[in-house]
Amino acid sequence: MADKWKQTALLVIDMQNDFILEDGLMRVDGGKAIVPNVIKAVEIARQLGILVVWVVREHDSLGRDVELFRRHLYSLGKVGPTCKGSKGAELVGGLVIKEGDYKVVKTRFSAFFNTHLHSFLQAEGIKSLVIVGVQTPNCIRQTVFDAVALDYQNVSVIFDATAAATPDVHVANVFDMKNIGVRVPTLQEWWESDS
């Protein structure tokens, strides 16, 4: 069982102030409700010796590295969403990067797109991924589809530690992920079946 956990990583995606807080510039309506479960998933992962990987968005203050459709949110004199060094880019309260954790900065939906995440995980011997965070139709879904394409043996999305703008959007995207072989347990199901 211990070997299994050495080959597993928990990806915590975009749990940053701009996505979670009421006044966040890119607030995901369902985000705040999952914070306690994301905190618990991180605690469980650390207890089991699972590698915790923090996947965050950090953008240039002028928005030069953001998707074209979002460039209008960045202009001179205006701080856009998740600008590097801004309060909005910080992890939401209760989540802390600790020694032994790893941080990956992305500028697109997928945690794998133009990052070194895959090579890092391969070097660490990671074969299984457990994913929590926001938001289901964008960063969660794109990361999951890329993980499946990259042949990770097991990919799980914790149902009640991920969220979207509405429950219906969340459920529809979970359905699509299940159809490509992704497990979608609740936090309790994951914890009880895997520990």
Domain of 153: which CATH number? 3.40.50.850
Phi, psi of 14 (to 5 degrees): 55, 35
> For the chain, how many structural domains are there in total?
1
Segment 134-152 mean pLDDT:
98
Give the structural domain span for 154: 2-194
Chain segment 21-50, per-residue pLDDT in tens: 999 999 999 999 999 999 999 999 999 999
* pLDDT surpasses 60 at 157: yes
The band of 194, judged by pLDDT with boundaries at 50, 70 and 90, is low
| Percent of the chain topping pLDDT 90 | 91
- Residue 100 gets which letter from DSSP? T
What pLDDT score does 192 carry? Answer: 86
- Name residue 27's amino acid: R
Alpha-carbon distance 3 to 7, whole Å?
6
Judged against a pLDDT cut of 60, whether residue 179 lies above it is answered with yes
